[in-house]
């Protein structure tokens, strides 16, 4: 009988973390039936060889394998390589589990998601409770990005956040399973029939916003998305991407800025993207002036205001590259 779950892990120059992720998965083999495909996104640092050697040495070859991509096409590109291979199989797994390389799955993490989806055929996507290394729950269940979320993110004003609370994600981490708009792609299980219906992840997103875009596309096709806290995964935030919202010392990477602009243009159109940009830019300018006046430290990435403006629709324009990968035709 074919394994019920296919696990996709995309590595880029984080071989040690990927191997530890595989080690945590190895402990789950007696609890769940799954295969793992690791895609090395052309790391060119010996990652492929290290991972392949670990799979052989640790005797994981019966359930884990590694593939080398032709180039580093980003999170969506790497995951789609694994997804397409799983879907092409004669007896494809019922679920595809996207898992970051900088994660460690806790006991029954996969089984909990499989059970949840198996009992609810209308649910197409389920995400885990993401924790830091100390077991503290991190936000991993969100409402879709909108001009309202950009207004709140820009101003960062407590009173405004309270007024907008019905339309923005709460800071409180849910303790029980709940329906949500989108979940973190660090640990996200997708029903294979969803992928067969709507296609794979949009490869025009190099990194970030791709899971949001995918969940939105699934919602438009009447698939529900749920947050399932009984499935727990430790995430070493920022280890694979270099992006950590807590006091970044480097500028926000270009791919994050590109992904943000693409999300609004692709899913909401030019006028909406203009409004979203204006809301954030005005809000963040206000926050910056308020911060200077109050002499508070700036914990945001350097030059964030300038970089966001230079990558807004006002400067970069309205062109949206259409590069969705339709796995149904391949």
> What is the reported pLDDT for 296?
87
Please answer whether residues 7 and 25 qualify as being in contact, where contact means their C-beta atoms are separated by less than 8 angstroms. Answer: yes
* DSSP line for 195-255: HHHH-S-BTT-SSSSHHHHHHHHHHHTT-EEEEEEEEEEEE-TTTTT---SSS-SSPPPHH
> What is the reported pLDDT for 243?
58
> What is the reported pLDDT for 90?
77
Report which of 303, 309, 204 is spatially closest to residue 263, judged by C-alpha positions. Answer: 204
Report which of 212, 228, 210, 208 is spatially closest to residue 95, judged by C-alpha positions. Answer: 228
**Dist. CA 242–CA 253, nearest whole Å:** 9
- pTM, entire model: 0.92
Strands 123-131 and 224-235: parallel
Please answer whether residues 97 and 7 qualify as being in contact, where contact means their C-beta atoms are separated by less than 8 angstroms. Answer: yes
Domain ranges of the chain: 5-144+181-242, 254-316
> What is the reported pLDDT for 295?
86
**Dist. CA 131–CA 145, nearest whole Å:** 22
Block means of pLDDT (10 residues each) for the chain, length 330 residues? 82 97 94 94 97 98 96 96 92 95 97 97 98 95 97 95 92 94 97 96 96 98 98 83 62 96 97 98 96 89 96 87 60
The SS3 of residue 108 is coil
Please answer whether residues 58 and 51 qualify as being in contact, where contact means their C-beta atoms are separated by less than 8 angstroms. Answer: no
DSSP letter for 143, please: P
Report which of 267, 266, 265 is spatially closest to residue 312, judged by C-alpha positions. Answer: 265
CATH 3.30.1490.190 applies to domain 5-144+181-242: no
The SS3 of residue 305 is helix
> What is the reported pLDDT for 3?
63
> What is the reported pLDDT for 1?
34
Please answer whether residues 116 and 27 qualify as being in contact, where contact means their C-beta atoms are separated by less than 8 angstroms. Answer: no
**Dist. CA 222–CA 199, nearest whole Å:** 15
Tell me the CA end-to-end span of the chain in Å, nearest whole number: 24
**Dist. CA 123–CA 141, nearest whole Å:** 15
* DSSP line for 45-99: SSHHHHHHHHHHHTT-TTTEEEEE-SS--HHHHHHHHHHHHHHHSTT--SEEEEE
> What is the reported pLDDT for 91?
83
Residue 247: how many other CB atoms lie within 10 Å: 10
């Amino acid at each position: 009988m074919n394994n019920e779950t296919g696990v996709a892990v995309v590595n880029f120059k984080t071989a040690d973390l990927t191997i530890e992720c595989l080690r945590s998965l190895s402990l789950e083999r007696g609890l769940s039936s799954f295969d793992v495909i690791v895609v090395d996104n052309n790391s060119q640092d010996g990652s492929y060889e290290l991972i392949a050697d670990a799979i052989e040495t640790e005797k994981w070859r019966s359930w884990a394998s590694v593939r080398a991509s032709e180039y580093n096409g980003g999170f969506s590109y790497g995951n789609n390589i694994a997804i397409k291979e799983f879907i092409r199989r004669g007896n494809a797994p019922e679920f595809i589990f996207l898992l970051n390389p900088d994660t460690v799955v806790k006991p029954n993490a996969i089984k909990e998601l499989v059970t949840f989806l198996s009992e609810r055929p209308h649910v197409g996507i389920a995400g885990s409770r993401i924790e830091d290394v100390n077991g503290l729950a991190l936000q991993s269940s969100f409402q879709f990005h909108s001009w309202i979320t950009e207004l709140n993110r820009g101003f960062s004003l407590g009173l405004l956040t309270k007024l907008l609370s019905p339309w923005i994600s709460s800071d409180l981490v849910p303790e029980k399973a709940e329906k949500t708009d989108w979940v973190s792609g660090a640990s996200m299980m997708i029903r294979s029939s969803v992928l067969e219906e709507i296609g794979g992840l949009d490869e025009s997103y190099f990194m970030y916003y791709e899971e949001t875009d995918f969940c939105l596309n699934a919602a438009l096709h009447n698939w529900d998305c749920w947050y399932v806290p009984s499935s727990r995964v430790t995430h070493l935030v920022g280890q694979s991407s270099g992006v950590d919202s807590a006091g970044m010392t480097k500028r926000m990477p270009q791919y994050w800025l590109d992904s943000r602009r693409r999300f609004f243009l692709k899913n909401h159109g030019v006028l909406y993207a203009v409004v979203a940009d204006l809301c954030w830019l005005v809000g963040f300018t206000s926050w910056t002036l308020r911060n200077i006046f109050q002499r508070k430290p700036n914990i945001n990435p350097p030059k964030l205001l300038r970089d966001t403006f230079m990558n807004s629709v006002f400067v970069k324009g309205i062109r949206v590259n259409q590069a969705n990968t339709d796995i149904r035709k391949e």
